[in-house]
């Protein structure tokens, strides 16, 4: 891949991972050193970022934050089983082609019909092609593990050259490769060849202080005491061996719910009423209710 530019997609004024982390914090995304370094290198060297981690740790949010920092549109490709080129890359607009054909018959202009029918204007750009044609752009390939492996091979081809060949039209290459974030929930192993094209980063659950910071950034209307209580309770829930341990997304949801009810701190009655925001299984809810939430919060807050 030719490196035409020295800066890649980095926004002006950013020349270190820490600088990028500051910009991300301005759009309310707190990245740790590893993630900031990964994103910095990814933007500078035009490498896709491959993010794995539990659900709700902020993989998809990263792409949104990058789009905000770069002031670029976020183009999202949600993967699912059976996804293929006509849904991910491009498709021909058949109804319009037919209309054009009919119109050409009526007016009698049929000389270059074949070439006209397969013109760029009849091509519908799906997310991958749209990302190649937009500069700058952030391309989010979400939950790639849901797609099947044929799709991976095809993705590999697009991501290695940042170009697409349409048989009827020729090759469409990106002027500047988009910033690419690929996420996976690890329901299966994605092929090594695809990972090798990317920087691989595992996003884990944040520590207590970072979680408080993140939630405060995301839910500014919540009282600090409440946020600390929620972070402590969520951390305790994670240690409980639940079926679905709450992620940072659930902590934010819960805080939002509590703040909306006007809570200043986490009391057991309110916690029980809003538990649906943070645990998503009946068994988990039973266990959470069996825990003495107030004692737990007190202990956790005292400990920090």
Partner 1 sequence: MSAAGGLDAVGVVVGLGRALAAAGLPVGPDRVAEAVRALAELDVASRADVYWAGRLTFCASPEDHLRYDAVFATLFSGARPVQRRRPTMTVQTVPLAVEASGTDDGGEDGEEVRALHAAASRTETLRHKDFATMSAAEKAALDRALAAFGLPGQHRPSRRWQATSGGRIDPHRTVRAVLRGGGEPYRLYRRGHTTRPRPVVLIVDVSGSMSPYADALLRFAHAASRRRGGGRTEVFTLGTRLTRITRELSVRDPDTAMRAVAAAVPDWSGGTRLGTLLRDFLDRHGQRGTARGAVVVILSDGWERDDPAELGRQMARLARLAHRVVWANPRKGRPGFAPLAAGLVAALPHVHDFVSGHSLAALEHLARVVVGADARSVGPIREVRADA
Binding site for partner 1 (CB under 8 A): 17, 33-34, 37-38, 40-41, 44-45, 52, 80-84, 86, 94-95, 97-98, 101-102, 105, 117, 145, 185-189, 192, 195-196, 199-202, 241, 243-244
CB of 37 to partner 1, least distance (A): 4
Residue 193 or 260: the one with the smaller Cβ distance to partner 1 is 193
DSSP 10: P
CB of 211 to partner 1, least distance (A): 20
Identify which of residues 41 and 176 has a Cβ nearer to partner 1 in the complex.
41
H-helix or E-strand spanning residue 88: helix 85-88
* Minimum distance from residue 99 beta carbon to partner 1 (Å): 10
- Closest to partner 1 by CB, 114 or 221: 114
> What one-character-per-residue DSSP string does 131-190 give?
HHHSSS-EEEEE-GGGS-HHHHHHHHHHHHHSEEEETTTEEEE-SSPPEEEEEE--SSPP
Contact 58, 84 (CB under 8 A): no
Rounded to an integer, what distance in angstroms lies between the CA atom of residue 138 and that of residue 199? 16
Closest contact distance (angstroms) between CB of 257 and partner 1 is: 24
Closer to partner 1 by CB, 97 or 264: give it: 97
Closer to partner 1 by Cβ: residue 104 or 289: 104
CA distance 173 to 161: 8
Distance CA 262, CA 223 (A): 9
Question: Quick one: three-class SS letters along 75-136?
Answer: EEEECCCCCCHHHHCEEECHHHHHHHHHHHHHHCCCCCHHHHHCCHHHEEECHHHHHHHCCC
Cβ 298 to partner 1 shortest distance, Å:
28
Helix, strand or coil for residue 53?
strand
Task: Give the shortest CB-68-to-partner 1 separation in angstroms.
Answer: 23
Closer residue to partner 1, CB minimum distance, 101 or 273? 101
CB of 253 to partner 1, least distance (A): 20
Encoding tokens for residue 113?
A: 């019909």
Q: Which residue has the tokens 């959470």?
A: 288
Q: Choose between 25 and 41: whose C-beta lies nearer to partner 1.
A: 41
Q: Which residues contact 284 (CB under 8 A, 6 or more apart)?
A: 242, 243, 244
């Amino acid at each position: 891949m030719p490196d035409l530019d020295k800066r890649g997609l980095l926004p002006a004024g950013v020349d270190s991972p820490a600088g990028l982390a500051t910009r991300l914090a301005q759009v309310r995304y707190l990245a740790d050193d590893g993630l900031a370094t990964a994103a910095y290198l990814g933007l500078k060297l035009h490498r896709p970022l491959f993010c794995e981690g539990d659900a709700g740790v902020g993989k998809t949010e990263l792409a949104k934050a990058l789009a905000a920092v770069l002031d670029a549109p976020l183009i999202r490709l949600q993967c699912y089983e059976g996804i293929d080129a006509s849904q991910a890359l491009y498709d021909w607009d058949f109804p319009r082609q037919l209309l054009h054909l009919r119109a050409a018959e009526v007016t009698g202009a049929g000389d270059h019909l074949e070439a006209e029918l397969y013109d760029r204007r009849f091509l519908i750009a799906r997310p991958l092609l749209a990302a190649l044609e937009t500069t700058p752009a952030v391309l989010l390939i979400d939950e790639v593990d849901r797609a099947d492996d044929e799709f991976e091979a095809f993705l590999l081809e697009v991501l290695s050259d940042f170009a697409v060949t349409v048989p009827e039209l020729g090759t469409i290459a990106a002027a500047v490769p988009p910033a690419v974030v690929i996420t996976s929930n690890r329901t299966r192993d994605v092929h090594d060849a695809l990972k090798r094209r990317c920087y691989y980063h595992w996003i884990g659950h944040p520590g207590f202080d970072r979680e408080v910071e993140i939630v405060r950034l995301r839910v500014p209307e919540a009282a600090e005491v409440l946020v600390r209580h929620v972070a402590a309770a969520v951390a305790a829930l994670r240690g409980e061996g639940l079926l679905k341990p709450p992620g940072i997304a659930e902590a934010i949801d819960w805080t939002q719910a509590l703040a909306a009810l006007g809570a200043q701190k986490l009391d057991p009655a309110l916690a029980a009423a809003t538990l649906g925001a943070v645990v998503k299984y009946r068994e988990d809810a039973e266990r959470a209710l069996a825990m003495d939430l107030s004692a737990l919060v007190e202990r956790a807050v005292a400990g920090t």
